[in-house]
Chains A and B, each alone.
Chain A
Amino acid sequence: MLAPVLSLLGRRLLAAIPILLIVSALLFCVLRVLPVDPAAMSLPPGATTAEVEAQRREMGLERPLAVQYLIWLQHAVHGEFGRSIHYRRDAGTLVAETLPATVELAVMAMAIAGMLGLCGGLLLFRLRGTSVETVGDLVSMLLLSIPEFLWGLILLFLFGVVLHLLPFTGRLSPGFMRPSITGFLLLDTLLARRSDMLCDALAHMALPAVALGLAFSPTLMRVLRSSLFDVYAEDFITQARLRGISETRILLGHALKNAALPTLTLAGVQFGFLFGGTLLVEIIYSYPGMGNLMVDAVRNADLPIIQAVGLAYCVMVLLINTAVDSLYLVLNPKLRVR
């Protein structure tokens, strides 16, 4: 069981290197055709042309693009992604500080989306042939039409502004001193045995995570349902019935595992999209993650940060895809044993 997964991980790691190289090169090119001059941006407004020229030379902007990229790459390999023009700090450090918040949010949202998708898919499937089947289908259709940032605003408006049930800014209420052990807030509060702080952090995370989960669950629901339909058209379900096995057992014991595979394939893609969705939710809930860092950087044309954050998103998506593929491998006997 372990060997194929390890070999998959190995292959993925190897495949990730060229992808990351290409992605970073593409990012580099895209950001260098920018109409703004990063050298001018990094100096106070009153700087003279000579000062700007000096700054350009210092930043290496006068050299050919390929050389600039290689220099950047050389630094990046050592963990230096350049100094942020706006924050005057190392971009890598900034990413490392904000990454855990985003990862926590995304993982929580994926769990919620997965749960909702599973329950919703089973429910939609059980509605088949009944009078409410179309209603269920149309509701899932409507849910599908509400993107994550609208969910964020709706929930914020409803639970935060109108009902005052849940907090909707930041990760913790003011007054808490967050322990920093791993950088992951939930984990840190657990390690520090601060259950009050854990609850507060969870309450802060509830709205953004649910908003994201809600936005991505309808696809999973509908795919699970249609996969179940496909599996039920197969012969072995009829054969299980002919052996007298009960319907519940057929659904949960035989069909669900078969239907999970195509759903999982799609979940990989969807979770990649979800990771991008954190950006919007973070903005709406002023959640101090990579998304807010990114948008700030975009507004300030802070190239080193955009570059580093873009790369971080890419790494995370590759990790998610690898995790999903490993799970697929573990679940699918056709790939595991030959």
Chain B
Amino acid sequence: MDNVLEARDLAVGANIDGALLPALRDVSFRLAPGRILGVVGESGAGKSMIGRAIAHLLPPGFAITAGSLEFEGRDLTDMRVRDRRALLGRAIAFIPQGPLSALNPMATIGRQFNEHLARQHIRRRAGRRERALAMLAAAQLFNGSQVLELYPHQLSGGMCQRVLIAMAFASHPRLVVADEPTTALDVTIQMRIVELIAQMQRQHGTALIFITHDLRLAAHICDDIMVMYAGRAIEYGPARKVLSAPAHPYTRCLQLANPAVTAKGNALYLLPEQMPSLRELTRIPGCHFAPRCPVATRRCRLGEPPNIMTGARHWAACIRSEVAAKIEAPLELPVATAGAVPSAPLLEVQNLQKRYVTLRPMLGSATEITAVSNATFGIEPAELVGLVGESGSGKSTLARLLLGLEQPSAGRILLHGKDLTECSARSRRLRVANIQMVFQDPQSALNPRRRIAGIVTQAMEAGSLRAPWEERLERARVLLADMGLAADFATRYPAHLSGGQRQRVNIARALCKLPKILVADEIVSGLDVSVQAQLLYLLLRLRDEFHFAMLFISHDLAVVRHLCSRVLVMYRGEIVEQGPTESVFAQPQHPHTRALLGAVATDGSNINRNSGKR
């Protein structure tokens, strides 16, 4: 059968400060009707650029510079604007990343659906409404006539995504491009949305491009997988083959960097450094992955490797593909062994409660929301405790209570047996010296107007402290070295740092005065897998060096399982289950814990992991 989409040596150039840099190079693939192609890569790999190139909606300064992109035999790259627009929303449809922002907030779902269907040559309004209802039902929104009356802000993220999926398939498209369709959604519904897309795709016999950063997720639904690195497709092949016998070292390393939820993790593979930026690319001779590659040889740095076939429909841009699958993670890293000697708890939380009262002045009524109810737990010295739960389950409120950013409505917080509950100068002093926080969003957590040295040693200018600049610079150098950052970072500004580097600075600032407890709120979410692995390793190493305990808040069960020795599960403000990580994950007692565990893709990635050894 003919291909729906065929890319031949597609290249996209970016004009940055006068220089033309390659944002996408040598991308070639074929997509047959009814097949799913997974495009996998870390941020900046150029994976979204493929979807953008199909619609010809590249960011300003970006343009297709070479190659062709044929949709059903017609080249999309030099098509007239009108012709391309005639295809969009009809033969080619898109499913976006952030469903809530993808719909016009000022128009009802019905109006937007109607506008979309009006382009599908459905003349009668009633006919369009009927079709909209049918499509919504197919997307498992059964109260369709009600949904059509609503505005986007009245729907949840999951419902919005269902509406957008219904819209995408409403025109019987031949090609659908889904760009990270679940990243913005809650863990518990991610799998259901992915399965809905796959189901609709099967029903309509549509060809689907599924763009994701999650190799495991891609393996779950895709027929073929294309792995991107620094703007180039470096491996392409059937999903099962790519996962079980990766032919490119990068694919293998990516796989090993991702902690598994199903078993107590092996050590993670640590890719050094980070993906080169567009500008840096031009300075790397030979294979662009070579500087980070564990099996690179001198020959790899001589010239860019060609795409080498390694099996039926399976190729990789690597001259050492035969050893790629044999890469293994280093055997052991500092494993959490704290609490071996039972000691006095460092932090005790007893029946902690937080209620919010919202007054509605005109109606005279007050609504009470319980954000945290009856939380009781302890943290021992140097213990890593995970706190998991859905968004809105009260995790962050609990953290704010511990840090003294909110006052509890009831209950007690004890540090070394000293009461911190009271809001006093004494408890504030105790907290400042003993409990520090690492923030989720490294963008907002670092003052863009301070140099890195000033940020990490900020504690040395607090209150009545006036440390001389030389002393602070010295401390900053030590801290940066501990974080694995070069000393010359000290004089830079946060804007010059990558996400992973900022998060290291974020941790360094909290550790400046060596506190006893760190509270880390979702500090690895939103980071790429290889950066996440680096940070997890760093946290373990730092813990062994400085013996701090940590409350690690996360929605990612695999990460918690990898890092923490004990876990607390929160649901609707309550700690519904707590215990050693292994036993909670192996034998979850509470239905919600089971639901959380069930929501994670269980694709047997563990088997794939081990298959490399055999």
Contacts and interface: CB of A to CB of B under 8 A. Distances in A.
User: Do A and B touch each other in the complex, judged by CB within 8 A?
Assistant: yes
B85 interface: yes
Interface in B74-121: 85-90, 93-94, 96-98, 101-108, 115-116, 119
Contacts of B115: 245, 253
Given A243-B119, A257-B106, A235 B101 contact: yes
A334 B152 CA distance: 9
A244 B90 contact: yes
A332 B106 CA distance: 7
B106 A333 contact: yes
B96 A235 contact: yes
Interface in B140-154: 151, 153-154
Contact of B119 (A239, A241, A244, A333): A244
A234 B90 CA distance: 22
B102 A241 contact: no
Given A11-B362, A333-B106, A243 B116 contact: yes
B369 interface: no
B84 to A, nearest CB: 8
A245 B94 contact: no
A245 B84 CA distance: 11
A236 B362 contact: no
B106 A241 contact: no
Given A333-B151, A334-B153, A242 B105 contact: no
Interface string B18-39: 0000000000000000000000
B116 A258 contact: no
A241 B88 contact: yes
A254 B97 CA distance: 20
Contacts of B105: 236, 258, 333-334
Contacts of B103: 236, 239
B432 interface: no
Interface in A59-96: none
Contacts of A334: 105, 151, 153
B138 interface: no
A240 B105 CA distance: 12
Contact of A239 (B90, B102, B108): B102
Given A236-B104, A238-B57, A243-B119, A333 B94 contact: no
A243 B89 contact: yes
A337 interface: yes
Most B CB contacts (10 A, CB to CB) among A236, A239, A242 go to A242
A239 B93 CA distance: 10
A261 B153 CA distance: 16
Nearest to B168: A243
Nearest to A257: B106
Interface residues of A, number: 25
Contact of A234 (B87, B101, B151, B167): B101
Interface string A6-24: 0100010000000000000
Contacts of B88: 241-244
Most A CB contacts (10 A, CB to CB) among B90, B105, B151, B362 go to B105
Contacts of A258: 104-106
Nearest to B101: A235
B101 A241 contact: no
A246 interface: yes
B87 A244 contact: yes
Contacts of A332: 106
Contacts of B154: 337-338
Given A11-B362, A246-B85, A333-B105, A241 B55 contact: yes
Nearest to B85: A244
Nearest to A14: B362
B153 A333 contact: yes
Interface string B363-401: 000000000000000000000000000000000000000
Contacts of A257: 106-107
A334 B609 CA distance: 48
A254 B104 contact: yes
Contacts of B116: 243
Given A238-B96, A241-B57, A243-B116, 17 more contacts: A235-B97, A235-B98, A235-B101, A235-B102, A238-B57, A242-B55, A242-B94, A243-B119, A244-B85, A244-B88, A244-B119, A245-B89, A254-B106, A331-B106, A333-B106, A333-B108, A338-B154
23 contacts: A235-B97, A235-B101, A236-B101, A239-B164, A241-B55, A242-B55, A242-B94, A243-B93, A243-B94, A243-B119, A243-B167, A244-B86, A244-B88, A244-B89, A245-B115, A246-B85, A254-B104, A254-B106, A254-B107, A258-B105, A331-B106, A332-B106, A333-B151
